[in-house]
Amino acid sequence: MTDEENRSAFDWETRFIENNTPWERGGLHPAFEAWHRQAAFRAGERAAIPGCGRSPELLALAQAGLAVTGADLSATAMAWQRQQSDIAARSVELITGDVLAWQPEQAFDLVYEQTFLCAIHPRLRGRYEQCLTRWLVPGGRLYALFMQKPERGGPPFDCSLEAMRTLFPAERWIWPDARHIRAWPHPKLNDKAELGAVLIKR
């Protein structure tokens, strides 16, 4: 294995146990809040967050009346999500395991993708795109935040727009106009930009 492949066997569980989670903003992502203000998330819709970790967006979607499923490898992160949803008395579905092997019985109206794509090794990206294609209904939306990281290696691994346009090709995905792709700096990751874009599955 190369160094880069080794690094993909990242110990996420220990990161959560030790609270060493610099990717967490400590609140809702401002892009999520902006989409929410624009009424992007509608009560009754089915939503999934792959690699949800302790993302507070899971509960926020449930509170907005969506049927939400979160999936993650980390038992510690999922226990945290269970506790948050119990406290808020909201029902969410939580799946602990490898999301790339997950086959949901029913498709989703939307997927919220936040620092999961950049967390997996780039060699797994094609598999993830196939999963997203299967998981979403035709016309389903992918709310994506593409991490920009010019340095080599990861996680996080760079998700350049050029690479993303190849990964999510026009024959399967409708891309927004460039003016609707907005950069959101991540204050806990040296202000690295995350490019927020909503892609529609054909």
Backbone angles phi, psi at 24, to 5 degrees: -80, 130
Is the distance from CB of 50 to CB of 112 less than 8 angstroms?
no
Binding site for ligand SAM (CB under 6 A): 12, 23-24, 51-55, 71-74, 77, 98-100, 114-116, 119-120
Residue placing its CB nearer to ligand SAM in the complex, 74 or 85: 74
Q: Which residues contact 15 (CB under 8 A, 6 or more apart)?
A: 21
Residue placing its CB nearer to ligand SAM in the complex, 75 or 174: 75
**Closest residue to ligand SAM: CB criterion:** 53
Residue placing its CB nearer to ligand SAM in the complex, 116 or 184: 116
- Do strands 173-174 and 136-147 pair parallel, antiparallel, or not at all (unpaired)? unpaired
Q: How far is the CB of 199 from ligand SAM (least distance, A)?
A: 17
Residue placing its CB nearer to ligand SAM in the complex, 56 or 161: 56
Q: How far is the CB of 76 from ligand SAM (least distance, A)?
A: 9
Q: How far is the CB of 58 from ligand SAM (least distance, A)?
A: 9
Q: How far is the CB of 7 from ligand SAM (least distance, A)?
A: 12
Q: How far is the CB of 135 from ligand SAM (least distance, A)?
A: 13
Residue placing its CB nearer to ligand SAM in the complex, 1 or 170: 1
Closest residue by Cα to residue 127 from 162, 91, 99, 100: 100
CA distance 97 to 184: 29
CA distance 167 to 151: 20
Token code pair at residue 101: 């092997």
CA distance 190 to 185: 8
